[in-house]
Amino acid sequence: MPGSAQISYMGPWPKDVGIIALELYFPSHFVDQAELEQYDGVAAGKYTVGLGQARMGFCSDREDINSLCLTVVQRLMERNGLSYDSIGRLEVGTETIIDKSKSVKTVIMQLFEDSGNTDVEGIDTTNACYGGTAALFNAVNWVESSSWDGRFALVVAGDIAVYATGSARPTGGAGAVAMLVGPNAPLAFERGLRGTHMQHAYDFYKPDLMSEYPVVDGKLSIECYLSALDRCYSVYRNKIHTQWQREGSDQRFSLEDFGFLVFHSPYCKLVQKSVARLMLNDFLNHPNPNTETGPFTGLDAFRDVKPEETYFDRDVEKAFMKASADLFERKTKTSLLISNQNGNMYTPSVYGCLASVIAEHSPSQLAGQRIGVFSYGSGFAASLYSLKVTQDHTPGSALDKLVSSLSDLGVRLDSRKKVAPAVFSDSMKLREDTHHLASYVPRGSVDDLFPGTWYLTRVDEKHRREYSRRPLDDDLPAEPELVCLGAAAQHIPSPVKKMPRIPATTTAPEASS
């Protein structure tokens, strides 16, 4: 029964708590950034080279934050053969607010109704692009706490990133990520290794509650991002040094101790600059760096620079981007698949980068690696933490299943429909004109959505939203609507070939490390 747990769950601190399964959703439409450059009348390469972006996914008026999260949750549950009564906590991180009171989490609970499971803790968390990470931390903390009842936690991060016409518009995107959290995970949080920095700034914010568009101070936003990265890395490095000293080691931590590095990615070029920024930190923190040979060759002239004075120093940036080029290629470049092809997803952005690393490597290449994760949200809040990948990469292992579940990312990206910039612009105008309208019936095509996608069918006169789902098989009728009117909504799962179910017990072989 929901809420029940075997006595064995109430024993010692759960081991290797982290991400067991991960699912990613992005829209079925995209606009080509090179074509958008021509349409916007800007210099060739401004978006593709200057920002490092190739394509940008976007939603029609058929999709909102609720539908995105419904889609990614049901997809994760179906693909992993999970029962809804195996979930004890559901956290949502988003900054795409369509209601000032009702949470996205409560909408997702409609998927749980057939199971009878209403004993599900958690709620929405909002702070720009950091909300998904805060939700993930909450889920991990719950599993490691006295409140845990032996069931899994489910974390959802989703957003629709749209900007008014202008220089910021090509940094948009959309998508959602769902992560299953529990013990014996293939991606385990390293306990105590988390550096956080919180500070007040108006770099990016959304004061107009009737608009989807933010107010952005681009230069300040970059400064806040890089300063937060400096602070978080310093705290993380001090904490891991303390751990190593307790273990009797005087080893000095550097970027080489990360197998992979993933970052929140507003645009890909900022991620490349972030790797260079961390190398600058390593260089300045080293008591006696070798500037004759090795990665710091030729950097002696920068020995006395002050980090807080270098955020827009082109000489420093150029020198350390060159010095860190190999590091970027080996540890970060593969993380930018989703960011480059779909754009900025806000809260799911850094987890889309994590999914890209997993999709682009084999289980044996990932096994035993430490993955550094930097999450940033404007306003501002940031954390740098690390995940340790299990050593077990045998066929059928938890890591093998995780890699297999994300191996189709490239195929899914290539299956999207490209639309002309003018069509994209019209779609943005439609969203702008109909945002928060009551008595509204969406006009976008349902046929172009991916199979299994939830979509908005109408908004009634009281702003209550109704949804249907495209069938997984085109020969099947659409699923009955989920009607958010207070009464129980009927939900009939689509026929789907189930993977072996991950049971609620945390000692299952597929969840072991």
Instruction: Please give the C-alpha separations between residue 422 and each of 29, 42, 269, 385, 435, in angstroms, as whole numbers.
Output: 13, 15, 26, 41, 20
DSSP, res 133: H
Rg (CA), the chain: 23
Of 475 and 513, the structure prediction assigns the larger pLDDT to: 475
**Contacts for 486 with CB less than 8 Å, ≥ 6 apart:** none
Q: How confident is the model over 491-502, as a mean pLDDT?
A: 33
Whether 459 contacts 480, CB under 8 Å? no
Annotation marks residue 69 as catalytic: no
Residue 321 has pLDDT above 50, yes or no: yes
Q: Say how far apart CA 67 and CA 50 lie, in whole Å.
A: 33
Three-state secondary structure readout of 61-108: CCCCHHHHHHHHHHHHHHHCCCCHHHEEEEEEECCCCCCCCCCHHHHH
Q: What is the pLDDT of residues 25-50, one digit of tens each?
A: 999 999 999 999 999 999 999 999 99
**CB-based burial label for 146 (10 Å; 0-12, 13-18, 19+):** exposed
- Give residue 1's pLDDT: 33
SS3 label, residue 187: strand
Please check if 221 is assigned to a binding site.
yes
Is 129 labeled as catalytic in the residue annotation? yes
State the burial class of residue 412 (Cβ atoms within 10 Å of its Cβ: 0-12, 13-18, 19+).
middle
Cβ proximity of 350 and 271 under 8 Å: no
331 annotated as a binding-site residue:
no
**Token pair listed for 49:** 């080279």
Beta bridge partners of 204: 216
User: What does the domain layout of the chain look like in residue ranges?
Assistant: 18-470
Please indicate if the annotation marks 100 as binding a ligand: no
Averaged pLDDT, 203-215: 94
Bridge partners for 21 per DSSP: 180
pLDDT at res. 472: 87
The reply to whether the predicted model has a pTM over 0.85 is yes
Q: Per-residue pLDDT for 453 more than 80?
A: yes
Tens of pLDDT, residue by residue over 164-185, are 999 999 999 999 999 999 999 9
pLDDT at site 473: 76
Options 224, 264, 268, 353, the catalytic residue: 264
Per-position DSSP letters for 18-29, written without gaps between them: EEEEEEEE--SE
Token digits of residue 498: 């189930």
Question: Could you say which DSSP state residue 401 is in?
Answer: H
Across the chain, what does the average pLDDT equal? 91
pLDDT at 229 over 60: yes
CA gap 450, 414 in Å, rounded: 12
pLDDT of residue 482: 66
pLDDT tens, position by position, 400-431: 999 999 999 999 999 999 999 999 999 999 99
Contacts with 191 (C-beta within 8 Å, 6 or more apart), sequence order? none
For the cut 60, the answer to whether the pLDDT of residue 451 exceeds it is: yes
Cβ count within 10 A of residue 240: 19
Instruction: Specify the pLDDT at position 17.
Output: 97
Residue-wise burial string across 106-131, b where 16 or more C-beta atoms lie within 10 A, e elsewhere: bbbbbbbeeeebebbbbebbbbbbbb
* Confidence tier at 75 by pLDDT (50, 70, 90): very high
- Name 456's bridge partners: 467
Average pLDDT over residues 372-388: 98
Give the pLDDT mean for 245-251: 91
Amino acid at 332: T
Between CA 40 and CA 370 the distance in angstroms is 42
421 CB burial (10 A radius; 0-12, 13-18, 19+):
middle
Q: Which of 23, 29, 91, 129 is catalytic?
A: 129
- Quick one: average pLDDT of 356-379? 98
Look at residue 487 and tell me whether its pLDDT is greater than 90: no
Which is the catalytic residue, given 63, 78, 95, 510?
95
Segment holding 138, helix H or strand E: helix 131-143
Kindly tell me if the per-residue pLDDT of 501 is higher than 70. Answer: no
What per-residue confidence (pLDDT) applies to 475?
53
Higher pLDDT, 13 or 102: 102
Q: Note whether 423 and 401 are within 8 A (CB).
A: no
CATH topology for 18-470 is Peroxisomal Thiolase; Chain A, domain 1 (3.40.47)
Q: How many CB atoms lie within 10 A of CB 271?
A: 26
CB burial of 350-365 (b: ≥16 within 10 Å; e: otherwise) equals bbbbbbbbbbbbebee
pLDDT, one tens digit per residue, over 383-395 is 999 999 999 999 9
For residue 286, what are the β-bridge partners? none
What was the pLDDT predicted at 477? 58
> How far is it, in rounded angstroms, from Cα 299 to Cα 284?
10
Q: Where is 416: in which H helix or E strand?
A: none
End-to-end distance of the chain based on CA atoms, in angstroms? Answer: 27
